[in-house]
Amino acid sequence: MTKQLSLALAAAVLLGGTLTASAAGMQSPSEKMWPPAKDTVSLTADQQKTAWNDLSGQAEKQTAPPSFFRAVGNVVSSSVKLQPITTKAAGDVPALRPYSFAMMEGQLLIVNPSDKKIAAVITRW
């Protein structure tokens, strides 16, 4: 009897661990995980135009810090105010979802929020 009880207990522990692991891996559609931001993002001309239209009016216009060159791969200064991508822009161009943005001297900078590198520079259409 003790052997059967031990086997039943071991099976219950094993089954419980499997169910917990399965439940931990499940996500509802609203909790969908998006790929993290990278240091570059490739956008088509249409996506760039949409991003410009969705974000340029929302962005706080800023002046570039001295000797700052706005190019993909460069790190933005801590003085640059980054804003999260808006819900509308993320819906219209899903690739932008994990990024931040800033408007600087007529250019829209798409920035990786984790390392502050410019992932794309979009110029007015």
What digits encode the pLDDT tens for the residues 90-121? 999 999 999 999 999 899 999 999 999 999 99
pLDDT confidence tier of residue 30, bands split at 50, 70 and 90:
very low
CA gap 97, 38 in Å, rounded: 11
Is the confidence at residue 74, as pLDDT, over 50?
yes
Q: What is the pLDDT of residue 36?
A: 67
* pLDDT reading at 23 higher than 80: no
How far is residue 88's CA from residue 97's CA, in Å, rounded to a whole number? Answer: 10
In angstroms, the CA 70 to CA 92 distance is 25
Q: Smallest Cα–Cα separation from 110: which of 63, 65, 43?
A: 43
CATH 3.60.21 fits 36-123, yes or no: no
Q: Is a pLDDT exceeding 90 seen at residue 21?
A: no
**Residue 93: which of 60, 45, 61 has the closest Cα?**
45
